[in-house]
Structure 1
Amino acid sequence: MKWPLSKKMETSLLTCVIHKSEQITMYCADHSQLCCSKCFELYHRLCLQVTQAARGKSTSFKNLSFRTENTLSQMKQCQTYQEDRMMSLKVSYKEHERLIVDGLRVNIISYLRECETSTVNTTHEHMQYPISEMREGIKNLLADFEKSTIKEKKEELNLIQAPLKVLINSCIRLHYELFHLHVAIPKVLGKELSFIASKKCLENIQQSDIFLKENFPNHVFTVNGKSVHNVKMPSDSEACWITAVCALPNGQVLVADTFNKKVKLLSQQYRVVSHLDVRDEPPDMCLITPTEVAVAVHDEVQFITVSQSQLAKSRKLKLQHYCTGIAHNQGDLYICSGTALYKFTLSGELVCRLYEDSSADLTVIKCAVSPTGDKLYITSYQQHKLLTLARDGTLLATFTDPALCGPSGLHVTPVGQVLVCGRQSYTVLQVGWEGQSKLTMLATREDGVWRPWSVCYCSTTSSIIVGLYRDDNILVFRVE
C-alpha cells in the first residue's frame, strides 16, 4: 500500500475499457461513462453533458472505500460459495461411485459363489476351463463397469462443474480488478487521475453488484429433519443452559453449559465424551483453530484445546470488564461486555473499542464476524435488535422483526449466512448478510424451540445445532 503508483497501473487507469488503444479524455454525465475520443464519436456526440475527465470531481474516498471493501468481501464470499458447491458435487459423486463399486463387488462375489457351487464336485483336470471362463467373466464385468459407469459419471460431473468453474474464474477476475483499483485510489488523491480512478472503481462495483445479484443470492437454508440429544451428565447439579455451541471440523461439537460451569465435548453422535470444569459460568465461546476454542468466563478468556477426544486448559487472558460474548476472525478477538464491543489481539492486547450503547443493559450481548472480517454482527437483547457494523465499528444496518424478540445466540457460517436466536420469541431465523432482511424462519416453538440461547452451523454434517435455556437437550436440524 505504501509503494507509489506504478506506471503500469497509471496506464491501465487511463486506458479505455472498450477501445484498448485509446486513452480516456472525457466524461459523459448523461450516461455516467468515461469516454475516449472513439467512444465520443460513436456513442456520445449528441450528449449534452460531456466534459474533460480531468475536471471531474472524484467521489468521497471514505464512502468509496466502504463500498469497495464491501463488494470485495461479497466477491470473496461468492467465490467460496461456488468452490463449496464444487466440493460438495465431488463428494456426492465420490459417494455415488463408492455405492456403484460396492454393487459391483456384490455381483463379483455372487458370481464367484455361483462358480464355486457349480465346480465343487469337479475334479482338478476338469476345472481348468471353468476357471478360465470365470476369469474372463470377471474381466468383462470390470471392463463394462469402467467403460459405461465410471467414465459416464466423470463426464457428467465435468459437465455440471463447468459453469461453476466459469463463475469462480469470474469472481477471481472481478475481485482482482477491483482490488487493484482500491489500492490505486489513495495514491492518486489530489491528482487529475483521481476522478478517472474513482469512476472506474464505481463502474467495477456496479459490474460486480450485477454479477452478485445473478449468481450469489443469499442461500436460504431448508430444514429437512430434526433430532433431539441429551447432554446432561450424572455429575451435573443443575439443569443445562447451553449458552454456546462450536462445531469442530471433524464433526465433534463443543457446548458451554453455564449453570453447571462446564465445557462439554460431544461425539459426532452428540454424546458427551469429555468435559472440563471452568471457574465461573461460561456465557460464550468461539473457535480459534480446528483444535482450540476461547471460552468467555466472567472477566477472563480461557483457551481450551481438543486432542484425541480430550479437553485440556491452556493459557488465559485477563479482562478489565465482564465478557458476555466472544468471536474470532483472522487473529483478532471481538469481545462483548454487555454494553460495548471491543477488539483485542490473540495475545490479549486491547486494540480499540468499536461500539458502545449504554442506554440500557445487555445492548451488546453476543457478536459474530463475517468470513472476510468486513462485517460485525451484534445482538442487542434488551432492544430486540440485530446490528451490523463495518470493521471499524460504523453502524451499517439495524434489523428488527416481531419474530425476533430477545435476540441472543448468533452465528455466521463459513460462507456468510447469518443465524440468530430469539429467546423470547422461541425462534431461530436466517437473516441476510447485509443485516437488513429476514430470509426465513428456520425453527419455532412448534419445532421444539423453547427459549433458544445459542446456535451454530456444522458444515461437516450440514446441520444447525440449537442450545436451550434450562433444558438438558440440544436440537439438531438437518438442512440443505
Structure 2
Amino acid sequence: MFCPDHNHLCCSKCVELNHRLCLQVTPLPQAASGKSTNFKKLSVRTENTLSQLKQCQTYQEDRMMSLKVSYKEHERLIVDGLRVNIVSYLRECETSTVNTTHEHMQYPISEMREEIKYLLADFKKSTIKEKKEELNLKQAPIKVVRNSCIRLHYELFHLHVAIPKVLDKPELSFIASTKCLENIQQSDIFLKENFPNHVFTVNGKSVHNVKMPSDSYECWITAVCALPNGQVLVADSFNKRVKLLNQQYHVVSHLNFRVEYKIMQLDMCLLTPTEVAVAVHDEVQFITVSQSQLAKSRKLKLQHECTGIAHNQGDLYICSGTALYKYKSSGKLVCRLYQDTSAYVTVDRCAVSPTGDRLYISSYRPQQKLLTLARDGTLLATYTDPALGGLCGLHVTPAGQVLVCGQWSKTVLQVGWEGESKLANLATGEDGVRQPWSVCYSSTTSSIIVGQWWDDDILVFRVE
C-alpha cells in the first residue's frame, strides 16, 4: 500500500496502526500506475547526498584523528615536563653536595634515582590511562555520527544501484524511487544536524614572522600545509625553501631547493601525516617530517611544468598551467582530466574534495575564476567574483569547505562546495590581509593560515 498523505509505503499492519485516518491509502499497483519519476534528477540528488554523507564520514574520522594526535602530544608534554623538572632537581642536589658530603649523599641520590624512575613509570602509565579514558569519552559521540553516516550511505547506495535495474517494472520502480526519496530526506535532516555546509566564523587573529636569518629575500609564501600534530609547513618561493614551523609557528627546520629560475612558485600537498609532495618547476620532490626535522626522499620527473599539486586516496592531481593531469603516487600517468590552452595559467592550482568526487581549479588568466570538475574531468561549475581579483590560493578542508584568496582584492573567501556561490568573506584588508597567495585550514588548531606575497608574516585566523 501507499499513503499519499504521509508519502509512505506501508503494509496492512501499518495501515491499521498508523494510517486509519488517512483517506487516500491505495494499493501499490494503483499508486504506481501513471506515476512518472524523473530518474535522472533523482540520480543527481542521490549522488550529491551520497557525496555529502561520505564527506561527513571523512570529517568525523578526521576529528577523531585530530583528538588522538592532540592527546598524545599533551601526554608527551606532561611526562617530558615532569622528567625535566626532576632531572634539574637532581643536578642541583649533586652540585650542592659534591664537595662536602659526596660520600654520604652518593647512596641516597642513587636510591632517589631508582625511586624516581619507578615513580615516572607509574605516573606515565596512570596519565596515559586517564587521558585515554578522556579521549574515548570525547570520541564516543563522534563515532556515533560516523557510524550513522556509514549506515545511511550503505542504504542509499544500494537503492541507487537498484533503481536502473527495475525501470521497466512499474511497481518495483515506484517502491525503489519512493524509498530513495525517503532516505534522501532522512540523510538531509541528519546532515543539517551533524554536518551543515558550515560557514566559518573568525574569532581571533595572530601574526607570526617566518623569516630566517639566512633568507636572502623577503618571504613569498606560495603554499601552506597543516600537519595533524599542529606543526605547519610553508613554501617560501623567493628563498626557494620549505620551512617547518612548530606549534608556536617558529621555524625549526628547513630544506633548500636548487632551481636555476629566479622566480618559481612552489606548491605542496599532504600525502600522509609525515609525508609531503612539493611541486618544483617540472618535478615532484617528496619530503618526510620526523622529530621536527625535514628530509628529502624520492623524486618524480615530469614531462610538463608543475604549477599546482593535490592528493587524494593515492592519486596525485598536477596542474601544468594549461592542463590538469592525474597520476598515481608511484609516478604513473593515469590521464589528462582537463585542458584549456586559450591562455597561460588557465589551470594554475588545484584541490580535491575529501571523497574525490569534485576537483577545483584556480584559473588565473584570462579571467580569474574558480572551476569545479567532476571526478572524470567534466566541468560542473564556473565561479567568478570581484573579490577574487588575482585568484591564487585554493584549499579544501577535511569537511569539504572550499577556501580561496584573491591577491589583488586582498580577500580570503569561503565558497560553497558546489563551486557556484560565495558563502562568506573570511578576511579582508581591514584584517591585515595585504596580498594573500596561499591558504590552508588546520583542523587540529581550528585555524585558517594565510601566506602572502613579499611578506615575512603569516596570518593565523582562529575560526569556529
TM-score by length of 2: 0.73
Structure 1 residues 330 and 145: alpha-carbon distance in aligned structure 2, compared to 1, 3 A threshold: closer
Q: CA deviation at 1:421?
A: 0.7
Structure 1 residues 97 and 380: alpha-carbon distance in aligned structure 2, compared to 1, 3 A threshold: closer
Deviations 1:198-242 (A, max 9, x none): 322222122111111101132626444221212696566xx6544
Structure 1 residues 50 and 456: alpha-carbon distance in aligned structure 2, compared to 1, 3 A threshold: same
* 2:399 counterpart of 1:418: no
1:38 to 1, 13, 32: 13
Determine the structure 2 residue equivalent to 1:274: 256
Q: Supply the distance in 2 between the matched residues of 1:349 and 1:165 (Cα, whole angstroms).
A: 35
Q: Supply the distance in 1 between the matched residues of 2:64 and 2:70 (Cα, whole angstroms).
A: 10
Q: CA deviation at 1:410?
A: 0.4
Deviations 1:249-293 (A, max 9, x none): 674625262xx5x75221333364422316685446343734352
Deviations 1:62-86 (A, max 9, x none): 4333333322222222223223333
Deviations 1:46-67 (A, max 9, x none): 3437462554656444433333
Determine the structure 2 residue equivalent to 1:166: 144
Determine the structure 2 residue equivalent to 1:52: 28
Determine the structure 1 residue equivalent to 2:173: 194
SS at match of 2:207: strand
Q: Supply the distance in 2 between the matched residues of 1:457 and 1:413 (Cα, whole angstroms).
A: 6
Give the CA RMSD over aligned residues. Answer: 4.8
Q: CA deviation at 1:183?
A: 3.0
SS at match of 2:54: helix
Determine the structure 2 residue equivalent to 1:183: 161
Q: Mapping of 1:79-478 within 5 angstroms?
A: 79-94=57-72, 156-192=134-170, 193-217=172-196, 218=198, 220=200, 222=202, 223-230=204-211, 241-247=220-226, 251=231, 253=233, 255=235, 257=237, 263-268=240-245, 269-270=250-251, 272-277=254-259, 282-283=264-265, 285-287=267-269, 289-290=271-272, 291-293=275-277, 295=279, 297=281, 301-306=282-287, 309-311=294-296, 314-319=299-304, 324-336=307-319, 342-346=324-328, 347-353=332-338, 364-381=347-364, 383-458=367-442, 464-469=448-453, 471-477=454-460
Determine the structure 2 residue equivalent to 1:21: none
Q: Which deviates more, 459-468 or 415-424?
A: 459-468
Structure 1 residues 343 and 205: alpha-carbon distance in aligned structure 2, compared to 1, 3 A threshold: farther
Q: Residue 421 of structure 1 contacts residue 453 of structure 1 at CA under 8 Å; is this kept in 2?
A: yes
Structure 1 residues 147 and 367: alpha-carbon distance in aligned structure 2, compared to 1, 3 A threshold: closer
Q: CA deviation at 1:434?
A: 3.6
Letter of the 1:213 counterpart: K
Percent identity, aligned pairs only, is: 59
Q: Residue 408 of structure 1 contacts residue 453 of structure 1 at CA under 8 Å; is this kept in 2?
A: yes
Q: Supply the distance in 2 between the matched residues of 1:374 and 1:214 (Cα, whole angstroms).
A: 23
Q: Residue 375 of structure 1 contacts residue 391 of structure 1 at CA under 8 Å; is this kept in 2?
A: yes
Structure 1 residues 417 and 228: alpha-carbon distance in aligned structure 2, compared to 1, 3 A threshold: farther
Q: Supply the distance in 2 between the matched residues of 1:428 and 1:108 (Cα, whole angstroms).
A: 48
Q: Supply the distance in 2 between the matched residues of 1:443 and 1:327 (Cα, whole angstroms).
A: 24
Q: CA deviation at 1:97?
A: 5.3
Q: Residue 360 of structure 2 contacts residue 372 of structure 2 at CA under 8 Å; is this kept in 1?
A: yes
Q: Supply the distance in 1 between the matched residues of 2:345 and 2:71 (Cα, whole angstroms).
A: 48
Q: Residue 256 of structure 1 contacts residue 282 of structure 1 at CA under 8 Å; is this kept in 2?
A: no
Higher relative contact order (CA 8 A, sep 6+): 2
Deviations 1:389-410 (A, max 9, x none): 3324455555555543332210
Structure 1 residues 311 and 460: alpha-carbon distance in aligned structure 2, compared to 1, 3 A threshold: farther
Letter of the 1:444 counterpart: T
Q: CA deviation at 1:43?
A: 4.1
Structure 2, unpaired ranges of 5+: none
Q: Residue 246 of structure 1 contacts residue 254 of structure 1 at CA under 8 Å; is this kept in 2?
A: yes
Q: Residue 309 of structure 2 contacts residue 349 of structure 2 at CA under 8 Å; is this kept in 1?
A: yes
Q: Residue 466 of structure 1 contacts residue 474 of structure 1 at CA under 8 Å; is this kept in 2?
A: no
Letter of the 1:265 counterpart: V
Please identify the structure whose Cα radius of gyration is greater: 1
Structure 1, unpaired ranges of 5+: 1-25
TM-score by length of 1: 0.71
Letter of the 2:370 counterpart: L
Letter of the 1:48 counterpart: Q
Letter of the 2:243 counterpart: L
Letter of the 1:207 counterpart: Q
